[in-house]
Amino acid sequence: MCVTESSAKRLRKAPPTRIIIDTDPGIDDALALFLAFGSPSIVVEGLTIVCGNGKDITKLGANAKLLARVAGHADVPVCLGDAALDEGEDAQEVPVHVHGEDGLGDCAARFGRTEADFAEFHPKSAAQFIVDACSASPGEITLVAIGPLSNVAAALTLCPELPQLVREVVIMGGAVHGELRGNRTPAAEANFVGDPEAAQAVLTAGFRSVVLADLGVTHQTDVAALCEACTQALPDSATVQMIHAVCQCFIDCYIKTFGASSAPAHDVVTVMYMIRPDLFTTKPARVEVELQGTLTRGMSVVDWKGRWRKAVNCSVLMTVDAEGFVHEFVAAMRRLP
């Protein structure tokens, strides 16, 4: 995709977009956070933590603190959501081998995570932080949700007017086009099946703009390509050294365990859209989430042709310029320690 010099200058001159990232810090979350911290077009107002890549909310919060510190943004607020509910013996566990036992490829201690990272989080809950920040700056803050949508749904319960206060919601979740129907169950993507009621509540709440990055677009990206390009361009960068180390677990799992040809940079897609929307094509659609199906609970269902006669509620990301994606990621890493 060609970007002219004049359009690039306009992108650089645009005022920074204020965002809150709702995250369950595993490995692709880490890359998404580094991209956000390295972009001059984004200001990260806070990190709200949700259970997803593991059920220990304090461990996920500790990972967020470590990642922010490595990126030179140790002062960013980190707010915990509710701890995961006990879903019973039949609940399907997120396979820890994807992200390692510590959520960061078993490299967290090596790169400086300490016991202090497990304490002294922001006093507000994740949901309250979202509500208060958006209420204080109506129409100015975008929510970037890269885990289950539990915190955003909880914020909606606290403040039903939230859809009128939020600038935009950008979600990594679902599977609405292509052959990729699910990665947690045969029918459902992990973030949506992690809390289907929350996903349905957020998609149907009436936010003024919802952008959906589903498996169809995230599988057009490649974590190994990001690692290789960063390592070649910035071999002495502390951030890049961490990226190279933590991503090996993720890449090996996809290729050796799942038999995939590459490891998709799922969560990175949402932040990249915030920075470079010109790298993507989109298509409007109505998307909702199945809540009752014995085999399909958590499945994202898309009405491309308007047969439900309901208003469009999403802009679905359809394609991404993979080369531009890698180039922009490396450019952001140049701005980090």
List per-residue pLDDT tens for the chain, 337 residues long.
455 555 555 555 778 999 999 999 999 999 999 999 999 999 999 999 999 998 999 999 999 999 999 999 999 999 999 876 544 433 444 445 799 999 999 999 999 999 999 999 999 999 999 999 999 999 999 999 999 999 999 999 999 999 999 999 999 999 998 778 889 899 999 999 999 999 999 999 999 999 999 999 999 999 999 999 999 999 999 999 999 999 999 999 999 888 899 999 999 999 999 999 999 999 999 999 999 999 999 999 999 999 999 999 999 999 999 999 999 999 999 999 9
**Cα–Cα distance for residue pair 164/144, rounded to 1 Å:** 16
The predicted pLDDT at position 289 comes to 98
User: Which residues share a beta bridge with 300?
Assistant: 289
**Cα–Cα distance for residue pair 128/335, rounded to 1 Å:** 31
Estimate the crossing angle of helix 322-333 against helix 238-252, to 10 degrees: 140
**Cα–Cα distance for residue pair 309/278, rounded to 1 Å:** 30
Q: Can 219 be counted among the known catalytic residues?
A: no
Cα angle: 333, vertex 270, 168; to 5 degrees = 125
Instruction: Name the residue among 246, 237, 308 with its Cα closest to residue 108.
Output: 246
- Is-above-0.75 flag for pTM? yes
Task: Give the chain's domain count.
Answer: 1
58 assigned to some structural domain: yes
CA-CA-CA-CA dihedral for 25, 40, 72, 269, to nearest 10: 20
Could you tell me the maximum CA-CA distance found in the chain, to the nearest angstrom?
57
The predicted pLDDT at position 89 comes to 37
Running DSSP on this structure, what letter comes out for residue 52? Answer: B
Alpha carbon separation from 20 to 41, 123, 191 (Å, rounded): 14, 16, 18
Rounded to the nearest 5°, which phi and psi values hold at 25?
A: -55, 100
The predicted pLDDT at position 180 comes to 80
**Cα–Cα distance for residue pair 317/337, rounded to 1 Å:** 31
The predicted pLDDT at position 38 comes to 98
User: Which residues share a beta bridge with 145?
Assistant: 22, 171
Query: For the domain that residue 30 is a member of, what is the CATH number?
Result: 3.90.245.10
Instruction: Name the residue among 167, 170, 265, 259 with its Cα closest to residue 215.
Output: 265
Question: What is the chain's percent helix, strand, coil content, to nearest 5?
Answer: 40, 15, 45
The predicted pLDDT at position 10 comes to 52
1 assigned to some structural domain: no
The predicted pLDDT at position 97 comes to 79
Instruction: Name the residue among 159, 143, 183 with its Cα closest to residue 47.
Output: 143
**Cα–Cα distance for residue pair 210/166, rounded to 1 Å:** 10
**Cα–Cα distance for residue pair 38/51, rounded to 1 Å:** 25
Token reading at 126 = 């994740």
- H or E element that contains 146: none
Rounded to the nearest 5°, which phi and psi values hold at 45?
A: -80, -25
> Catalytic: which of 73, 244, 266, 327?
266
Rounded to the nearest 5°, which phi and psi values hold at 47?
A: -115, 120
5 assigned to some structural domain: no
The predicted pLDDT at position 179 comes to 76
Q: Are strands 314-320 and 280-289 parallel, antiparallel or unpaired?
A: antiparallel
7 assigned to some structural domain: no
**Cα–Cα distance for residue pair 20/132, rounded to 1 Å:** 12
**Cα–Cα distance for residue pair 31/226, rounded to 1 Å:** 9
Cα angle: 72, vertex 75, 77; to 5 degrees = 125
**Cα–Cα distance for residue pair 244/267, rounded to 1 Å:** 17
User: Which residues share a beta bridge with 211?
Assistant: 170, 315
Question: What is the domain range of residue 23?
Answer: 15-333
Instruction: Name the residue among 147, 157, 152 with its Cα closest to residue 193.
Output: 147
The predicted pLDDT at position 177 comes to 84
Running DSSP on this structure, what letter comes out for residue 38? Answer: T
285 assigned to some structural domain: yes
The predicted pLDDT at position 88 comes to 40
Helices (H), the chain: 5-13, 27-37, 57-70, 126-136, 150-158, 162-165, 190-194, 196-203, 215-218, 223-233, 238-252, 268-275, 322-333
The predicted pLDDT at position 91 comes to 43
